[in-house]
């Protein structure tokens, strides 16, 4: 019987497999950041252990950093201490750090791919659930807790139970104005926030194939939002062209060898999946979430579902979510005034996202009532945007281009959405208080966020498309 | 290194009949700035427990003195979202030894097991029975036995068995941790690297 892509990569990384025990899985690269690593470093000190393979460990500071005036010391004492601690720990244990001020600094899931560290066939972990992003290259990549961060530091391995395998196929032609973010929000709205739990999800189908690497990263990034262990997409020409020539990509003969191996990485025709889901691209509208988990999403022209459409035992939690959001049954989100627009996060902060938004907002200006933040995913994305003059376009539109970091995705650093305010966000989570205590989040694509910033209300990007032509979403 | 040992508990419970409780509710990101594992219990369910002026919200169950115990019982898909182990630390630090739900998110479940906090997955029906029992009598006692893998409503004797990975069960009942185990296989890691 044939093997799935997931199993091919997993099997190539099993160090030891014993009946009754989880497998010992070899990790090619361990990404670390300031928030989930300090207790792991302390653990190593207590055990008197070094980092086993420091050269396979890459660090950056992203969660707790400001995205304005990064050249100044971090104002908040605890944040500064945590970032300083990462610097000290990396120096002590011999780990390369792309910290504040370094030309490679940025969100961990943006820099890994852009530096060519993330490659097809590899295994990648990080103390961050959005590590699933790296699966876009045809790799196994997932988030881990701090005890596991310590485990990987100590052994370059992870004890893991092999998950079940799911295939999600999307076929067909996307409507204009619909992109990768809408696809994944649509999938999660169909599976629910728990529908992928226990599975490694392979995304396939011609719609997925037609996406750029950045679009594929957006898809894999949100795998965790349906509970999946990881998400992955078989590598192809698009993947190989993206990886080629990057900072840490193999060169010369090594490159040829690598490419030959990558071309074997696909699910065999007779490979068995534990579950298969199929969706039609034509069914996908620009998506928006109305609730407090990413599974609570609707097409932008639809209305908030009725409470009675849920099972009795689920209705309490559903009402709680709508109360929090200040919404009610059957309501349209379209036309609803918003206060903030956040374009950024490991889901949508790459150069293509910024280009797409800039192209759309060129010659337009944000609405009076809205504050807009555009936060590049990395220093390299920021520099590229400036080289292309996107910063000027953003500035004229009232969209200041900030400095790289996780920013308003998680309500941890200085960038928080105030209580009670509504934010259309290109990030990945709409949990209660995620963007700041009592903030309210509508998740959407960069284009939907940009269009809404211009009108000051929840907007269907397709309304603009009737009037003008611009790059495909 | 030795970790906390868990074999058996019998205690009253704290019911939280809400579904999809994510780790941002368990411990909001702004409280993840600490660099040690201690003290996260103070901020467990911070924004549900306290108002914007840090006054306890009287309608939240953790602030109701009638409900206490070593077991937290919650709706399905508990612990979804962020991989922050701080969520497991906060629950354990607050004083819980086990969390019962009809479904757990993967990463949370692993983090809990690595910290001596037992996640017990029960059927939807049994979860409802526990909620019914504790809302009828706040002192209702639940027994959890990891060795024989069952959970019981003591007053009625109703019980259900639960699954746990045999390796993780051995770790929890003996206080072993994963690093000790992998380090015992270190020569295999070297062999794997040499063969690459």
Q: What ipTM was assigned to the predicted interfaces of this complex? A: 0.97
Helices (H), A115-269: 146-155, 180-191, 206-209, 213-221, 237-243, 252-262
Residue A473: the pLDDT is: 44
B149 shares contact with chain A (CB less than 8 Å): no
Distance in angstroms (rounded) separating the CA atoms of residues B179 and A386: 46
Residue B92: the pLDDT is: 97
Residues A4-39 pLDDT 10s:
999 999 999 999 999 889 999 999 999 999 999 999
CB pair distance less than 8 Å for B29 and A36: no
Closest CA–CA distance from residue B70 to any residue of chain A (Å): 23
Residue A469: the pLDDT is: 57
Residue carrying the six token digits 């949100």: A222
Residue A465: the pLDDT is: 87
Q: Which phi and psi (to 5°) does residue A16 adopt?
A: -160, 135
3-state secondary structure chain B: CCCCCCCEEEEEEEEECCCCCEHHHHCCHHHCCCCCCCCHHHHCCHHHHECCCCCECCCCHHHCCCCCCCEEEECCCECECCCCCHHHHHHHHHCCCEEEECCECHHHHHHHHCCCCEEEECCHHHHHHHHHHHHHCCCCEEEEECCCCEEEECCCCEEEECCCCHHHHHHHHHCCCHHHHHHCCHHHHHHHHHHC
CA A393 to chain centre: 25
Distance in angstroms (rounded) separating the CA atoms of residues A458 and B122: 41
Distance in angstroms (rounded) separating the CA atoms of residues A220 and A143: 12
Residues A164-208 pLDDT 10s:
999 999 999 999 999 999 999 999 999 999 999 999 999 999 999
Q: Rg of chain A over CA atoms, in angstroms?
A: 21
Residues A32-52 pLDDT 10s:
999 999 999 999 999 999 999
B178 shares contact with chain A (CB less than 8 Å): yes
Say whether pLDDT at A468 is over 70.
Answer: no
Residues 270-309 of A with CB under 8 A from B: 292-293, 295
pLDDT bracket for residue A1 (50, 70, 90): confident
Region A287-306 average pLDDT: 98
Q: Residue A82: list chain B partners with CB under 8 A.
A: 33, 35
CB pair distance less than 8 Å for A410 and B75: no
Residues A380-399 pLDDT 10s:
999 999 999 999 999 999 99
What one-character DSSP code corresponds to residue A67?
Answer: S
Residues A316-348 pLDDT 10s:
999 999 999 999 999 999 999 999 999 999 999
Residues B123, A169 contacting (CB under 8 angstroms): no
Kindly give the pairing relationship between strand B8-16 and strand A440-443.
Answer: unpaired
Residues A262-279 pLDDT 10s:
999 999 999 999 999 999
Distance in angstroms (rounded) separating the CA atoms of residues B92 and B85: 11
Residue A349: the pLDDT is: 98
Say whether pLDDT at A105 is over 60.
Answer: yes
Residues 66-125 of A with CB under 8 A from B: 76, 78-79, 81-82, 85
- For residue A149 the two structure tokens come to 């961060």
Residue A318: the pLDDT is: 97
Residue A470: the pLDDT is: 52
Distances (CA, A) of A208 to A165, A373, A407: 18, 29, 28
Say whether pLDDT at A60 is over 90.
Answer: yes
Residue of B nearest to A414 (CA): B30
Helix B86-94 to helix B106-113 angle (10° resolution) is 50
What are the average pLDDT values for consecutive 10-residue runs of chain B, which has 196 residues? 88 97 98 95 98 96 96 98 97 98 98 96 98 97 98 98 96 93 95 95
Residue B191: CB atoms within 10 A of its CB come to 12
Query: B16, B18, B19: which to substitute to probe chain A, counting the most A Cβ within 10 Å?
Result: B19
Distance in angstroms (rounded) separating the CA atoms of residues B189 and B28: 37
Distance in angstroms (rounded) separating the CA atoms of residues A425 and A441: 7
Helix A38-47 to helix A77-93 angle (10° resolution) is 40
- For residue B185 the two structure tokens come to 């296989």
Residue B1: the pLDDT is: 67
- For residue A11 the two structure tokens come to 């099997």
CB pair distance less than 8 Å for B83 and A145: yes
Give the three-class secondary structure for A60. strand
Residues A343-363 pLDDT 10s:
999 999 999 999 999 999 999
Residues A197-235 pLDDT 10s:
999 999 999 999 999 999 999 999 999 999 999 999 999
Region A290-298 average pLDDT: 98
Nearest CA-CA partner of B44 in B79, B20, B13: B79
CB pair distance less than 8 Å for A15 and B192: yes
């Amino acid at each position: 019987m044939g093997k799935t892509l997931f199993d091919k990569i997993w099997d190539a990384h099993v160090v030891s497999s014993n009946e009754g025990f989880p497998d010992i899985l070899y990790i090619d690269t361990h990404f670390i950041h300031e928030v989930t690593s300090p207790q792991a470093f302390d653990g190593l000190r207590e055990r008197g252990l070094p980092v086993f393979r420091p050269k396979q460990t890459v660090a950056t500071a992203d969660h707790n950093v400001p995205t304005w005036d990064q050249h100044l010391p971090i104002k908040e004492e605890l944040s500064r201490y945590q970032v300083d601690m990462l610097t000290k720990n990396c120096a002590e244990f011999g780990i390369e750090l792309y910290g504040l001020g370094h030309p490679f600094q940025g969100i961990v899931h943006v820099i890994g791919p852009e530096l060519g560290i993330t490659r097809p066939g590899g295994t990648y972990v990080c103390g961050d659930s959005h590590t699933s992003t790296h699966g876009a290259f045809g790799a196994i990549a997932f988030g881990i807790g701090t005890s596991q961060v310590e485990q990987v530091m100590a052994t370059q391995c992870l004890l893991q139970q092999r998950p079940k395998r799911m295939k999600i196929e999307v076929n067909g032609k996307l409507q204009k104005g619909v992109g990768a973010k809408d696809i994944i929000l649509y999938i999660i709205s169909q599976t629910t926030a728990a529908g992928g739990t226990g599975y490694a999800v392979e995304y396939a189908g011609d719609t997925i194939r037609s996406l750029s690497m950045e679009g594929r990263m957006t898809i894999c990034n949100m795998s965790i939002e349906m509970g999946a262990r990881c998400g992955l997409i078989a590598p192809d020409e698009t993947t190989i062209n993206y990886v080629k020539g990057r900072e840490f990509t193999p060169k010369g003969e090594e490159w040829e060898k690598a490419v030959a191996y990558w071309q074997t990485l696909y699910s065999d025709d007779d490979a068995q999946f534990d579950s298969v889901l199929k969706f039609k691209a034509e069914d996908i509208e620009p998506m928006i979430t109305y609730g407090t988990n990413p599974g609570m999403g609707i097409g932008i022209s639809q209305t908030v579902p009725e409470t009675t459409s849920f099972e009795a035992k689920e209705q309490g939690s559903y009402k709680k979510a709508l109360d929090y959001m200040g919404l009610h049954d059957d309501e349209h989100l379209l036309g609803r005034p918003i206060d903030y627009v956040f374009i950024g996060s490991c889901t949508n902060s790459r150069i293509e996202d910024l280009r797409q938004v800039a192209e759309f907002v060129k010659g337009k200006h944000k609405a009076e009532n809205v504050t807009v933040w555009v936060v590049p995913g990395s220093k390299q994305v920021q520099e590229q945007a400036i080289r292309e003059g996107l910063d000027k376009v953003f500035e004229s539109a009232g969209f200041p281009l900030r400095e790289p970091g996780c920013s308003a995705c998680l309500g941890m650093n200085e960038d928080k959405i105030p209580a009670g305010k509504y934010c259309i966000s290109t990030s990945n989570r709409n949990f209660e208080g995620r963007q700041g205590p009592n903030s309210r989040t509508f998740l959407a694509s960069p284009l939907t966020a940009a269009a809404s910033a211009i009108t000051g209300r929840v907007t269907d990007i397709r309304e603009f498309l009737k009037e003008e032509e611009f790059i495909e979403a | 290194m030795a970790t906390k040992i868990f074999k058996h508990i019998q205690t009253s419970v704290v019911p939280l009949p809400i579904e999809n409780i994510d780790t941002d509710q368990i411990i909001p990101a702004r409280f993840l700035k600490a660099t040690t594992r201690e003290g996260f219990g103070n901020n467990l369910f911070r924004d549900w427990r306290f108002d914007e002026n840090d006054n306890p919200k009287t309608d939240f169950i953790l602030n109701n003195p009638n409900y206490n115990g070593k077991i937290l019982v919650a709706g399905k898909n508990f612990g979804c979202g962020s991989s922050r182990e701080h969520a497991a630390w906060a629950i354990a630090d607050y004083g819980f030894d086990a969390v019962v739900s009809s479904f757990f998110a993967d990463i949370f479940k692993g983090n809990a097991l690595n910290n001596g906090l037992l996640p017990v997955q029960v059927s939807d029906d049994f979860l409802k029975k526990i909620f019914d029992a504790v809302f009828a009598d706040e002192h209702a006692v639940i027994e959890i036995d990891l060795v024989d893998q069952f959970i019981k409503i003591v007053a009625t004797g109703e019980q259900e068995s639960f699954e746990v990975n045999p390796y993780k069960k051995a770790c929890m009942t003996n206080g072993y941790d994963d690093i000790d185990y992998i380090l015992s296989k270190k020569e295999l890691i070297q062999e794997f690297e040499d063969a690459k």
